[in-house]
Amino acid sequence: MRREPFRLIDILMLGYLGVVTMVAMLRLAVRPGAIWVVAANLLIAVLIYLLALSNEGRFSRILREVYPIVLIPALYGALDVLNGLEVRTWDPVVRRWEQALFGEQLSLTWWQSSPSRFWSTVLHAAYFSYYFIIPFPLLYFLARKQPERARTVVTLIVATFLVCYVCFLLFPVAGPYYEFPRPTGPLVDNWAARLVYATLSKGSSYGAAFPSSHVGAAVAAVIGTWLGSRAVGAALAIPTLLLTVGAVYCQMHYVVDAIAGLAVPIIVAVAVLAAQRSAPEPVAAT
């Protein structure tokens, strides 16, 4: 079996694994569990190499297309192992930015000044729709037998995640979800809010607020989908817009987090599309 050239997403993943492995080694003294992150990263690197081997099996071809998205939950979970609740966070700095830009802490004052059970339900539901927005374009393009478009959208989404995750490691920000008293009253007295809080209680990594990866990855999904289908991309933009607003109104992120979350996928898209134009990726056999 001969090895196919690494794709752009493979190179980005390997680069990210290298950065995280170095951080994990540096934090071994205070975070002994970091050794498991190092081991997991080595296994992922081996997986990427094996997937690059030419193979006519349909399963292996599909796995090579979807593996970056599949691995995102594991990469996110590793952040909690490396950071932990005792990590120094930069929330005071981000709150000063927020105060300078808006004159108040909007993630705290907005819902307090405008409590609404209706809007809380809508915006919490939009915030939860993130878990459907991220895989949707990949499944959509694969179902339509458009692997090149699926590959582009996966690259955009995962590259956005990786940029956000590096920020979480080097500039951890807990966010208003941890820093401020939790919302009460109409804001949490609905099924959507309860669903979001139940999900976060089981899978939230500390220090992962700036930039908002929820906003960033959702916007990346919209951009990638738009490039392949403007109609579907426009439809996906609606819940993404509500998600962005909900991230602040529901006190999950500072406004600065959301703004940074909007900026990251745009910068990533410009860089990725430029890289693809200068060095087109090999097309997988179908």
Task: Determine the pLDDT at residue 56.
Answer: 63
For residue 178, tell me if it sits in a domain: yes
Q: What are phi and psi of 28, to 5 degrees?
A: -60, -35
Contact 193, 187 (CB under 8 A): yes
For residue 284, tell me if it sits in a domain: no
Residues whose CB falls within 8 Å of the CB of residue 161, separated by 6 or more in sequence, listed in order? 72, 75, 76, 213, 216, 217
Percent of the chain with pLDDT over 70: 94
Beta bridge partners of 251: none
Task: Determine the pLDDT at residue 285.
Answer: 34
User: In which residue are the tokens 């300078």 written?
Assistant: 100
Tokens of 42: 């080595």
Helix, strand, or coil (residue 235)? helix
Domain residues for the domain of 195 are: 8-278
CA of residue 279 relative to chain centroid, distance: 26
Task: Determine the pLDDT at residue 54.
Answer: 63
Per DSSP, helices labelled H in 52-103 are: 58-82, 91-102
Distance CA 222, CA 135 (A): 11
Contact 263, 155 (CB under 8 A): no
Nearest to 221 by CA among 132, 146, 142: 132
Q: What is the pLDDT of residues 90-117, one digit of tens each?
A: 999 999 999 999 999 999 999 999 999 9
For residue 285, tell me if it sits in a domain: no
pTM value? 0.92
Residues whose CB falls within 8 Å of the CB of residue 279, separated by 6 or more in sequence, listed in order? 8
For residue 104, tell me if it sits in a domain: yes
Q: How many domains does the chain divide into?
A: 1
Distance CA 158, CA 148 (A): 15
For residue 47, tell me if it sits in a domain: yes
Residues of the chain scoring pLDDT < 70: 1-3, 54-56, 85, 279-286
For residue 1, tell me if it sits in a domain: no
Q: What is the pLDDT of residues 59-99, one digit of tens each?
A: 777 888 889 999 999 999 999 899 876 778 999 999 999 99
